[in-house]
Amino acid sequence: MTPALDLPGYRHLYSGKVRDLYVPLNAAGEDDPDRLLLAASDRISAYDAILDPAIPDKGEILNRLSLWWFDQLADLLPNHVLTTDVPDAVAGRAILVRRLDMVPVECVARAYLTGGGLGEYAATGAVSGLPLPAGLVDGSRLPEPIFTPSSKAPAGEHDEPITYADVVALVGPGRAAELRELTVEILRRGNAIAAERGILLADTKVEFGLDAGGALVLADEVLTPDSSRFWPADEWVPGRAQASFDKQFVRDWLTSPASGWSKSSGDAPPPLPAEVVEQTRARYVEAYERLTGARFVPLASAR
Ligand SMILES: N#Cc1c(N)ncnc1-c1cnn(Cc2cccc(F)c2)c1
C-alpha cells in the first residue's frame, strides 16, 4: 500500500484501507487537541485487499459526496465537519473535523438483506438478535431498515456483529436508543433520496462521537460507496447476488479468466487494466452526479 502522504504541519496518525487520519500540529509541533484531518485516498479495496492501481479522483468524489450527505442530514443532527480548507496536497479529498470522543460501536443499518446479515439470517432467522420474516433471500428488501451494530475491531481485523443489548451495555439504554434511531433514520433518508435517482443503498455504516458537552455528533464519512452498499436500482433482483453500482467492473474482471486470478488462491489480486480503472472512476462520478445533481469537476482542473 502506498504510504500516507507526508503533510507538513500535520502528524500522520493512522491509515485505514482507503483513508488516512492526521492531526494538525501547533507552532510548537504539538498535537492539536481539538481537530483532526480525514483524507480520503484514491485507493480501492475489494475482496479484503487494496487493489492496484488507485482510481483517479475516487477520494475527491467520495469526500464531496460525504460532504453533500452531511448537508442533507444537518437538520437531523450536528456533524464533525469544520472546513474543507486543507493543504493543497489533499485539497478536495480531505476535511478538517472536530475531534470527538468516538462512540465504541460501528453503527450499521440494513434496508436490504445481504452479506454477513444474510448469513446470520440463514443460520438463525435473525440478524443482530432481531428475528426477521421467513423466506427472505439475498437482496430482499426488509420491511423496515434495521439496526445491526458491530464491535470496533482492532486494525486489520473484521468487526464482529453485536446485539442491541451489547450496545446498551456499552453506552447505556438512552444513548443506545439514540444510536439506533439515528442510524436507521440516516439510511431511510439516504434511500428516500437515492431511490429516486436509481440507486439503492442496501446498508450503511456510520460513526458517531460525543462533543465536549456530551452531545451526539455524526462523524467519519456518510453514505458513500465505501461505507455503504450501492446497488443500481434497475438491476435489483432478489434471490441472487446484486450488482454493485461502483465495484462491478472490478469484480467482473477479477473473477474472469482474463485476470488469471482466483479469489480462493490467497494471492494478492493482479493490477487492474486501465479500462477497468476508467470504468470504475466513471461509476463513482455517475453516483456523485446522480445523487447530488451537480457535475463532478476535479478541483485540480477547476483551479
Ligand atoms: N471521523 C472522525 C473522528 C473524530 N471526528 N474525532 C475523533 N476521532 C475520529 C476518528 C478516529 N478514527 N476514525 C476512523 C478513521 C477515519 C478516517 C481515516 C482513518 F484512517 C480512520 C475516526
Q: What is the DSSP string of 103-148?
A: -SSBEEEEEE--HHHHHHHHHHSEETTEE--TT--TTPEEEEEEE-
For 52-69, what is the mean pLDDT?
Answer: 98
Task: Please name the fold of domain 102-250.
Answer: D-amino Acid Aminotransferase; Chain A, domain 1 (3.30.470)
Task: Name the closest-CA residue to atom 22, ligand 1.
Answer: 220
Angle between helices 173-196 and 58-72 (to 10 degrees): 110
Ligand 1 contacts CB of residue 219 (under 6 A)? yes
**pLDDT for res 1:** 55
Q: What is the pLDDT of residue 294?
A: 98
CB 108 within 8 A of CB 204: yes
Task: Calculate ∠ Cα 39-63-106, nearest 5°.
Answer: 80
How far apart (Å, rounded) are the C-alpha atoms in residues 185 and 76? 9
CA 257 to ligand 1 center in whole angstroms: 39
Q: How many Å lie between the centroid of ligand 1 and the Cα of residue 252?
A: 32
With residues binned 3-state (H G I as helix, E B as strand, rest as coil), the percentages for the chain, rounded to 5, are: 35, 25, 45
pLDDT score, position 211: 97
Amino acid residing at 82: L
User: Is the fold of 10-99 the same as that of 102-250?
Assistant: no
Q: Which residues contact 145 (CB under 8 A, 6 or more apart)?
A: 109, 110, 111, 184, 187, 188, 191
If one residue of 43, 82, 96, 220 were mutated to test the ligand 1 pocket, choosing by the most ligand atoms within 8 A of its CB, it would be 220
Judge whether residue 114 has pLDDT over 90: yes
Look up residue 158 and give its amino acid.
H
C-alpha span between 101 and 30 (Å, rounded): 19
Say if ligand 1 is within 6 A of residue 21 CB.
Answer: yes
Domain 10-99 has CATH 4.10.640.10: no
Q: Is the CB of 226 under 6 A from ligand 1?
A: no
For residue 12, the number of C-alpha atoms closer than 13 Å in the C-beta half-sphere is 12
Domains of the chain by residue range:
10-99, 102-250
Q: Say how far apart CA 275 and CA 298 lie, in whole Å.
A: 20
Q: What is the pLDDT of residues 155-194, one digit of tens each?
A: 778 888 999 999 999 999 999 999 999 999 999 999 999 9
How far apart CA 171 and CA 166 sit, in angstroms, is: 9
Distance CA 138, CA 153 (A): 26
Share of the chain above pLDDT 90, in %: 93
pLDDT attached to residue 3 = 66
At residue 153, the pLDDT reads: 80
Prediction ipTM score: 0.97
Looking at the predicted structure, is the pLDDT value of residue 131 above 80? yes
Position 156 scores a pLDDT of: 74
Q: Is 36 in the pocket of ligand 1 (CB under 6 A)?
A: yes
Q: Which of 192, 196, 202, 190 is nearest to 229 (CA)?
A: 202
Grid coordinates given for 207: 460513526
Q: Which of 156-160, 243-247, 296-300 reaches the highest mean pLDDT? A: 243-247
Nearest to 138 by CA among 203, 188, 190: 203
| Residue 16 pLDDT exceeds 80 | yes
The overall average pLDDT reported for the chain is 96
Asked if pLDDT for residue 154 goes beyond 90, the answer is no
Cα 93 from chain centre: 14
Q: How far apart are CA 21 and CA 37, in angstroms?
A: 6
At residue 157, the pLDDT reads 81
State the average pLDDT over residues 266-275: 97
Q: Looking up cell 451526539, which residue turns up?
A: 216
Residue 56 CA to residue 74 CA, distance in Å, equals 29
User: What pLDDT score was predicted for residue 84?
Assistant: 98
